[in-house]
Structures are given as C-alpha cells and as structure tokens.
Amino acid sequence: MSRQPRALHALYLGPTPQAISGRLPASSAGLAVGGEIRLRPVGLILVETVLRSCPLGSPDHSIHCLLIILESSTEKNNTTRSARKHLKQLEHKTTTLWSPFSEWRISSATQVPDPFAVDARAVFTHTETGEQLTTGLFPSGDNEWAFRFANSRTGHWTCKTESEIPDLGGWTTIIDVEPDNSARGTISHIGHWWAWSESGEVFVPQLAMYDSPEGFLDQPEKIETDIKTLLSDHGFNGFHVPVFCRWFDIDKETNPEFDDPDPLPDPRTFDALELLIQKTYAAGGMVHLWMWGDNDADHRMTPMRDDWGGKNGRVVSRLLKYVAARLAPVIGWTMGYGFDLEHWVAEEDLRQWHETLTEAMSWPHLLGGRSGRPKDDPELLQIYDGLDYAGYTHLRPKYEDYVTAIKRHPDKPVFSEDRFRIRESERFAFKDYTEEATRRGLWDSTMAGGVANIWGMMAKGERNGRSVSYPNADHLQTCAKFFKVRLKAGMQIDNSLTDGCCLRNQDKSVLLFYKESTDALEIEVTNASENLRAILVDACAPYVETPIEITAGRQVIRCPKSSDWAVCVEGRG
C-alpha cells in the first residue's frame, strides 16, 4: 500500500528546498546543506502532529513539514536525530514479524518521587487495519523511560506516547514489520494442545528446572551452554524459573529478608529474565515463571506482608504494572502464580491477579496457577476457572491421570505443575522420580494429548535449583525427536486401534502408537494407501528409526526385544 500521495500533500505545505537554507532551526542547520536532498514518504500521522503544534502560516509551520519528509544524503545521522528531537520524533524502525522486541527510550527533565508510578503509555496503530495496541512506559534509568513493541503484525505501524508528564507525551515514531516465514509467535493453544500462535505448531512443554534469576544474571555464555545441554542434548524444550520475592531484590528469596515496607521492582531481575527468555526463544524453546512460591513458615516466598498490602496490594500492583510494560513485549514465556496455592490463595486473589496482568498486556502470555492434588479432589476443580491453563499438583502421574485432566478441561492446555525431581530425599521419596519414570512421563504426557511438565535431576545434596545432566540424556531426547514433526493440531486419542495407546489425526493418515515393557505391539491400520510408511523406535535407547513392513488391517508388530516401543504409520490414500 503506497503512502506517496500523503508525502506529496505534506510537500505542498512548505517552501522549495532552496528557500529554507537560512530558516532552519539551529538544531537542524546541517540537514539541507552539503548534499543532495531527496524526498522520503513517512506517513500522514507525523505531519498531522506537526500541524497541530505550529500555528498555520508561520515560518516554522512550513519548515517543520519539510523536515519530516526531507532526508540529506550526507551528514544525515546526527542532524536527523537533532531534527527528530526538536519535533519529538523517535527513531523509525524496520523489523520482522515476532523478531526480538523493538524499544525506544525517552529522557525527561521532570523530577518525580516514584518513577514506577508515572502514568505514561505508547499507543501503536496499524495503518491497514486500524488495530491499536497500548503498552506502558517503564523507568529505564535516571530520568529515562522506555517502551517496547512486539512486532506482532506485518505492515505499517504509527505510534504516539501519552503522559501526564509533558516530556514523556507527544513523542511519535513509525515501525514497519516485514514478514518472516519462520516466525513462531507467542505461546498459545489450539483446544487442549499447547501451540505457537503464528506458526500453529503444537508442542508439549517439557521443561527443565533452572536457576532463579541471580544464578544467570549477566551470564549469556552459561545460558547458551545450558540450552545446548538441557534442550539440545536432552530434548527438553524450555526452562522453569522460580522468581519468588526476587522481583524486588534479586538476592532475596523470601519476604522476611526485606526491611523495606515499600520495595520497588529490581531491574536486575528483569535483565536476567529477559536474557534467558530471548536466548531460549531463539533456540526454539520457552520459559515458564513462577511468580511466587509457598507461604508456609519455612518459606514465605510471597507478598503476604501487611506493610506491603498483601497479595494484590500497593506493592504488587506497582510490580504488575512494571511486569506488563517490560515483559509483555518479550515473547516466549508463561507464568504460574506459585505452588501449594490451596493453602494460601483464594479464587478472588487469582481473579484479580489474572485480570490485572491480562488487561495491562497487549501481547498475551498464558497465566495459570496450580490447584491441589487430584487424589484430594476427584472432581479436578481449579481454584479459579478463568485462568489460561489448568494447573495441577500431580504426584507421579500415569498416562490415565494425564488423560483424565485433559478430559476435565478439553478447551484449554493442562500443566502438571509440580516439579518431578530425581534427588536424594527420604522426605519426598513418595513422589520423587527415577530416570525410567522420567522417560516414561515424557511419553505418557505426550500420548495423553499434551500435558506440560517440569523435570529435574538434582545435583548431589540439592533439593531444588538447576537440573544437571541425566545419565542417559540421549534416551530422553528420543521422545522429543519422535514427536518433533509428527504432532499436529487436532490429534486425538484412539486406543481402539492398539493394545497400547494411540494418537491419530482426523483422517487417520498419521498414527502414533506406544506401549511399555513389551516385545510385540498390536496395531490397526485403516488407511488402505499403497504409500504406507512405518517406523519402529526403541524409546529406551538413543533415537533410531527402523523401517517396518505393514499392511492395512489389524496386525502385530514383532519387536527385537522387550522394551518400550513407539511406532509411527504415515500414508495417504
């Protein structure tokens, strides 16, 4: 869509280039000197902004209009910045769909007692559709505020800031978002399947336990190493990060550690989270955050202090405003409210938290909160049904437990949100895992329809923290490789086709079978295509595809030995 007519209209409002050499503002004196002047259309909205700020017919009225559409081919950079500052124009950006967020910063000479309380926002308007997205400005330094854009729709966007502080309001910019066929988008869902919003690719979050933010602050090399080890080598597709009270001080996990009755958000915590989220997203993964922890006497990883105002009081409201402004444009994360919520959180608490964040974020992120143990609640009720995913405290869930949870919530994704750990602990032996249980949990939760999990191999003597490598990482990786290109939206369970378990697509052109501790797997193939292709994979070994011969109808696949086996049958009639 051409914007040339708009640029020509703006040109007619000003004098010719030869007439302005002695009338430019001092801050822009070099703009039209010493080089060829060329016209560049930049859109009508910025011209309208200038017309409102300059009296019609004044010399500056004409000059400013020309400054918007003229660009010098020499000495351009410094003079353009100077002209933009004079006109309250920020840098124009060109980016690609869902690429790392775009950011602008604005300085203000106005002194304010609490920068986090400043009311300021940026309103982005999509030229072609009229869609508007509003995001908050957040303090980014001494007398400096920033705002961000997530590049969430292709095309031409204009932006204008609004604020009670004159220095922060009235700034304009332009961003052009170009297509990117590899863009995944943000984390969403299709029915009960977790999915990427742009690509439509479905996946199952199988997350590795990770450090809290102080453990990876300013450590990009460490993060890259852990991505290779835990994601690439193990097959996990993201990290789980507990934040707790480190929102206010990256070095303090619990609220009794604070003397401050009114703590502010700690930018270091956000620096660390952004670094991890962006690097993990670039590697194809995601990050799941726990906002808070537990509130029992041994933990207090919550905002439950009278002088803070409690769960949705003054301190938390300010924090959520900052989270929405700073993290919402950072794509690739989800958030749970915490753990053991049934002991300290009510329905109204979760409703307020969810509504506050959701309304403040122009770019959605799935928010949830794990409910109690299904064995204590056979109805599988949620503390608050309005959350974006259904979270549970399963203890060593089996295939049938995962299936039941999805059936209870068929229209939203499900998260088994306890941490499934291998560790030395007599106290938690009743719920902790072995490597075999971990491997089978990966397969069971996927074959059940895609329930998210958190996994961890604890270092000797550790209860929590970052997972170390599993002894047989390549065995775990087999699950990820088997499902990587085979999971599709709309796949459903159909165990009538096997003596194990089966996932299939609607027309049965893709059949996925799985059975544990067996040397034979009975399957039924209803597709009569001559182009059937089938492979056999040992789920207890490094990934190897063994082609097998099959025909239409009921049949038994003989396996080389007793193990856990997976079969994929593909073909179209």
The contacts of residue 35 (CB under 8 Å, 6+ apart) are: 72, 73, 74, 75, 76
pTM reported for the whole predicted model:
0.86
User: Which of 546, 489, 500, 549 has the alpha carbon at shortest distance from 523?
Assistant: 500
What's the pLDDT band for 63 if we cut at 50, 70, 90?
Answer: very low
> Mean pLDDT across the stretch 295-301?
85
DSSP string across 109-132: ----S-GGG--EEEEEEETTT--E
Query: Is it the case that residue 243 has pLDDT exceeding 90?
Result: yes
Task: Find the mean pLDDT for residues 311-327.
Answer: 97
Query: What is the rounded average pLDDT of the residues 9-22?
Result: 34
* 66 pLDDT tier (thresholds 50, 70, 90): very low
Q: Work out the average pLDDT over 492-516.
A: 97
Checking if the pLDDT of 16 tops 60, the result is no
Residue 500, classed as helix, strand or coil, is coil
The rounded distance, in Å, linking the Cα atoms of 492 and 487 is 10
Strand order in the sheet with 390-392: 367-368, 333-336, 286-290, 238-242, 206-209, 451-457, 414-422, 390-392
Mean pLDDT of 403-412: 95
pLDDT (tens digit, 9 = 90+) per residue, 536-545?
999 999 999 9
- Give the Cα separation of 53 and 64 in Å (integer): 10
Q: What is the mean pLDDT of residues 320-334?
A: 98
Please give the share of the chain, as a percent, with pLDDT higher than 70. 83
pLDDT band at residue 84 using 50, 70 and 90 as cut-offs: low
Q: How confident is the model at residue 461 (pLDDT cuts 50, 70, 90)?
A: confident
Pairing status of strand 451-457 against strand 206-209: parallel
Closest CA to 20 of 70, 78, 56, 86: 70
Q: What angle do CA 245, 251, 253 make, to 5 degrees?
A: 35
pLDDT over threshold 70, residue 278: yes
Q: Where do we find the tokens 């003596």?
A: 499
377 pLDDT tier (thresholds 50, 70, 90): low
Q: 246 near 212, Cβ under 8 Å? A: yes
Segment 245-262 shows an average pLDDT of: 97
C-alpha to C-alpha distance for 403 and 445, rounded to whole angstroms: 8
**What DSSP state is assigned to residue 230?**
I
13 versus 385: the higher-pLDDT residue is: 385
User: Does the pLDDT value for residue 47 go beyond 90?
Assistant: no
